[in-house]
Amino acid sequence: MTVNEMPTPVVTMPRIGDPAPSFTAATTQGDINFPADYLGRWVILFSHPADFTPVCTSEFITFASMQDEFAAYNTDLVGLSVDGLYSHIAWLRTIKEKISYKGMRDVEVTFPLIDDVTMEVARKYGMIMPGEDTTKAVRAVFVIDPEGVVRTIIYYPLSTGRNFDELLRVVKALQTADAFDVATPADWRPGDAVIVPPAGSCGTAQSRMSGDVVGVECQDWFFCTRELPADEVEARIRRR
């Protein structure tokens, strides 16, 4: 087998429940050691295809404008593309000085943007998908918890910008599930009813169905909900 015929190394992307792959990298906010530098906080690690591209520009303006909203839920933002540090700096300066989007203007991006010209980090996280592009990262999102564990993975193609309300909703849902030992149903937002974990025994299921468990409403043994007021959720998960 010649050098040109050597197989491409296979990199297994992290899965939900796996420790976030570690790396050190230069960023627009200095060097970081990930995820060690962020233990104790939630992180959204996200990739974008390239600097000086329009969809990415709209996303960075939106992320930067929502940074304080994410911070209120103990969540940091870390961006990545396979461009170099000087390109990042020039692009972010251009965003602040020239670009407006949906009324957002003069936006300064203060969260780290990783220099990944070698694609080392992008490959560790499965952000390079040859069927989409071999030289650009897709729009990947990894939500990583305070223990450094991957909790959510979302991928978008190059052509489709992300829904940022959904990303914030996911953070709130994950934190609510952890704080109250519940699950969140479709389209859940703080203030909506939550799912009670399935009954662990026939006796518990029977008690729920007979209405003996106060505050729990069951449509069948496996589908039980309870009210969880928004102010109770916010008091537990929102950083004061």
CA separation for the pair 142, 154 (Å, rounded): 7
Contact 32, 121 (CB under 8 A): no
Give the CB-side neighbour count of residue 146, counting CA atoms within 13 A.
Answer: 8
> Comparing C-alpha atoms, which of 194, 46, 205 is closest to residue 125?
46
139 is in an annotated binding site: yes
Residue 56 falls in the annotated catalytic set? yes
> Residue-wise over 56-94: b if at least 16 C-beta within 10 A, else e?
bbbbbbbbbbbbeebeebbbbbbbbbbbebebbeebbee
The active-site residue out of 56, 202, 218, 224 is 56
As beta bridge partners, residue 32 has 25
The set of catalytic residues is: 56
The annotated binding site for substrate is made up of 139
